[in-house]
Amino acid sequence: MRALPLRGNRRAFSAIYGAMGVLLVCSAVAGLLLLPRGPAEDAAPRERELASHYLEALLHSTVANDTTLEQALANSCFAAHCAPGTWNSSALSQAIDRLAAPLAQALDRAYKVAAMGGALTEVLVGNLPAGTTGAAASTDIFRPAAGDFLGVSVLLAPSSVL
């Protein structure tokens, strides 16, 4: 047996390797396209993120005279007699409801906003029926005059629960 000269076969080897490369790339692409898809994305993280953005938008909304809701909550007073310039429960309820309702309506959501000082719920507004679950977000706001924190939370649910 005699070895074939290499000069004439270089093209053949090059063509074979080129064809094998094309097959390899095509196989890899086909494999990626045919991979089974994972489970559908869970909607819960998106809903929690929406609730978080909703709360942030509320807190940065202006309630009166360049005062944000966050500043009003920090300057709130729930005692029977409050210092001038503080926000009482009634004024906060009206301000929160005035801001929260249109925003929730634009998002097509039912809502509940609560502000809790210690174990007491000081402010509770919204149109979410009792016992309804949904996406929640919360934050704490320091009240310097009272020396404590006010917990503020929102609960959003699709408006179809109404």
Length of the chain in terms of residues written: 162
- The verdict on 29 and 48 lying in the same domain is no
- The verdict on 73 and 29 lying in the same domain is no
- The verdict on 3 and 64 lying in the same domain is no
- The verdict on 73 and 142 lying in the same domain is yes
Domain span at residue 23? 1-36
- The verdict on 8 and 48 lying in the same domain is no
CA distance 127 to 112: 6
- The verdict on 24 and 80 lying in the same domain is no
Reported as a single tens digit per residue, the pLDDT across 81-121 is 888 889 988 999 999 999 999 999 999 999 999 999 877 78
- Model confidence, pTM: 0.70
Q: At a CB cut-off of 8 Å and minimum separation 6, what does 93 contact?
A: 123, 124, 125
Domain count, the chain: 2
- The verdict on 21 and 73 lying in the same domain is no
